Structure 1
């Protein structure tokens, strides 16, 4: 027995095949469990298929939350600034109140403050002399001006007509009615145009009423040659004149 122990001590401890098989099985099971745990935790992805799940990082630190709060606060401030700018653009700009000047005289309401030059310009005596002189000149007019004889169509001023050439019996005869008596008359108003002609003639009156004399003169007026009225010595083309015919034995006359 003593000799056998000595031999075993010299050869060293050696496990039996059964023990080695059990140890290897235990190690394999342990390795498999570790691999399954790591795979469930996401540490192990697919092998070469490119379809591994992506990892999402979530920042739960206080620094990330502070950054988000600061960003939200800045956005709120920008919105408030934009709203205040819109309100300021809509509100009308009011003029600043007048600054009181010490020692300035407060005039009563309705009082017009004038300078010395303005007061001189309102001299009533000088104004009267100027107005009277201008009125006299306007009333006097110029020699040879046409006389005003009232108002015509639409309230226009009428002037007494002056013939450039009186119409002949042959010119107006075809338009006149056959029955005419001594003392009959007709009156029309015409607008003067270039080359002493007239246009837009309108009937003003006739005697006896209903005789058709005014209508006949109006129809024959395209042949009339009348001088335009003169105002301040200048002919006024486009003004209206009154033409009156007094029928006598041979020809009519225009009122001069």
Structure 2
């Protein structure tokens, strides 16, 4: 059987009724009233049309914690999740199902990124924080990003400059400034995540930021801020007086 395909057979009457009842409740009360696992169920109905998907939806939430964490989970981690359906048969995540979930995440990320393209980033600070929260708060490994801004503080590019481990992502001041010059950027916003959930900066974070600030000074490229994103919030090194 090809990956991503499941045995096609009519749903048991009780489960077919469950699907319709869930859809009706979503239409009547709105999807915002549904718990995370039922949102996943509704989406998985389309990816897995002939099976009981509630156990798989609940297994995904149990494994990753909540809906945003499921959608942003690495593909290989998703593929480790399985459950038993209402007939006691194994139901495993496949690459096709994981891709469907990633598409939902990417659509959400782009929706939140869109306002940043139409105005100055500084004037859209809350929109920026919302975008970064969705993009990075549930990343299982550290990721270092740079937002490159022009002289009007409009976004030129948002680029990943380094991938790391659960507690470290490399950042190279020369590479950041070289890229800023290539893009004709006047300033940068540094961003990285803390998979631990705590956004407060370490001394290493502060030292790294100051090194990047120093590298930009002779080039007249300023560091507007360094934001640390985590499940518990977003810390600004500028607001903390660290830069």
Q: TM class, shorter-chain normalised?
A: under 0.3
Higher relative contact order (CA 8 A, sep 6+): 1
TM-score normalised by L of structure 1: 0.19
Q: Comparing both structures, which one devotes a greater share of its residues to helix?
A: 2
TM-score normalised by L of structure 2: 0.20
Structure 1 or 2, whichever has the larger Rg, is 1
